[in-house]
Amino acid sequence: MKSMKLAGLSLIAGVAALGLNLSGDTLIAGAHAQNAVTLDQVLQAIRRERTEVSAENRQREQQFLQQRNQQQAALNRVRAQVAAAEAESTRLEGVMADNQDAIEELDAELASKQGEFQELFGAARSAAADLNAQVERSIISTEFPGRGETLTELAQTEKLPSESQLRDLWEIMVQQIAEQAKTSTYAAPVVQANGEAAEAQVTRIGPYVAFSNGRYLTYTDGNLKFLARQPAGDVTAAASRVANASGDGFVRGAIDPSLGTLLGLIVESPTLQERIDQGRFIGKVIIVAALFGVALGIYKWVTLTMTAGAVRGQVRRKKPSKSNPLGRVMMAYENTQSADVETVALKLDDAILKEVPKLESGLNLVKVLAATAPLLGLLGTVIGMINTFQAITLFGTGDPQIMAGGISEALVTTVLGLIAAIPLLLLHAFASGASKRVSQILEEQAAGIIAEHAESGRG
Among 77-86, 227-236, 297-306, 397-406, the range of highest mean pLDDT? 77-86
Instruction: Report pLDDT digits (tens) over 151-183.
Output: 888 888 777 777 888 888 888 889 888 888 888
Query: Going along 127-181, which residue ranges are E strands?
Result: none
Distance (Å) of CA 261 to CA 88, 165, 209, 264 = 60, 33, 11, 5
pLDDT confidence bin for 403, thresholds 50/70/90: low
Residues 6+ apart with CB under 8 A from 127: 169, 173
Over residues 36-48, the mean pLDDT reads: 80
State what percent of residues in the chain have pLDDT above 70.
Answer: 81
pLDDT of 202 above 60: yes
pLDDT score for 113:
66
Maximum CA pair distance of the chain?
A: 189
pLDDT score for 324:
73
Please provide residue 259's backbone torsions phi and psi, each rounded to the nearest 5 degrees: 60, 45
pLDDT of 37 above 60: no
For residues 237 and 242, give the distance between their C-alpha atoms in angstroms, rounded to a whole number.
9
pLDDT top residue among 202 and 448? 202
3-class DSSP state of 456: helix
Among 79-93, 236-250, 348-362, the range of highest mean pLDDT? 79-93
Q: Is-contact 411 384, C-beta < 8 A?
A: yes
pLDDT score for 82:
92
pLDDT confidence bin for 28, thresholds 50/70/90: very low
pLDDT score for 30:
43
Distance (Å) of CA 204 to CA 289, 375, 380 = 48, 51, 46
pLDDT top residue among 282 and 83? 83
Q: Is-contact 416 307, C-beta < 8 A?
A: no
Whether the model pTM is above 0.75:
no
- The strand pairing partners of 117, in sequence order, are none
For residues 403 and 397, give the distance between their C-alpha atoms in angstroms, rounded to a whole number.
8
pLDDT score for 179:
87
The residue type of 143 is E
What are the extents of the domains in the chain? Answer: 2-90, 120-181, 184-266, 277-456
pLDDT confidence bin for 270, thresholds 50/70/90: low
pLDDT score for 96:
92
pLDDT of 19 above 60: no
For residues 409 and 8, give the distance between their C-alpha atoms in angstroms, rounded to a whole number.
99
pLDDT of 2 above 70: no
